[in-house]
Amino acid sequence: MWRKNRKINDEDRVINNPVRSRERTFDRAVNLLAYKPRSIEELRGRLLEKVWTNDDIVDEVIEKLKGYGYLDDLLYAKQLAASKIRQKAVGRRRLKMDLSKKKLDKETIEHALEQTFEETPEEDLIDLAIEKRLRLKGKPDDQKSKKNFFDHLLRLGFGYDLIRERMNKVASGGFDEPDSV
């Protein structure tokens, strides 16, 4: 049975023809990247799922792909972060967690986050999230609905202070409830 990210021991690897193994590994890497962009470590893990390759061959293939410009973790992280916030208004914490799931190093993640939030400030994103919530659920009128609203924004990854500031604005009428269509 096929299992994703299964660990194959070095003694189980069978490389009868290193040239053919290199070609197969390269072809698999290109196919995986054509399907969807991946970080270097994600690709490495997927390539090492096969018994007909090993660390040395995978390293060679990855270096070749980097040379061609097909693999660039920083560019991948920036594009992924931008894509995530276009899909849904999320905060820094949530976006950082999503990027770390892609096996990117911390420095790359931080650089991508800084650039993403320079282009689209977190304050704008929380305003979008609040407007959507108000449109769907209306203005919170009791303590329980205010807490649910607050918790919703926390789950989206926004910071406590920013949420508190915006919730005060909602409570004081700074956010108008959108007209329902």
Within-domain flag for 151: yes
Within-domain flag for 180: no
- Of 175, 172, 81, 151, nearest to 122 by C-alpha is 81
Please give the model's pTM, rounded to 2 decimal places. Answer: 0.82
pLDDT in tens, 23-70: 999 999 999 999 999 999 999 999 999 888 899 999 999 999 999 999
Please tell me whether residues 58 and 19 are part of one structural domain. yes
Residue 138 domain boundaries = 122-171
pLDDT (0 to 100) of residue 9: 72
Between CA 102 and CA 110 the distance in angstroms is 14
Please tell me whether residues 20 and 63 are part of one structural domain. yes
Angle (deg, nearest 10), helices 55-68 and 40-47: 140
Into how many domains does the chain fold? 3
pLDDT band of residue 83 (cuts 50, 70, 90) is: very high
Q: What is the mean pLDDT of residues 135-156?
A: 92
Average pLDDT, the chain: 89
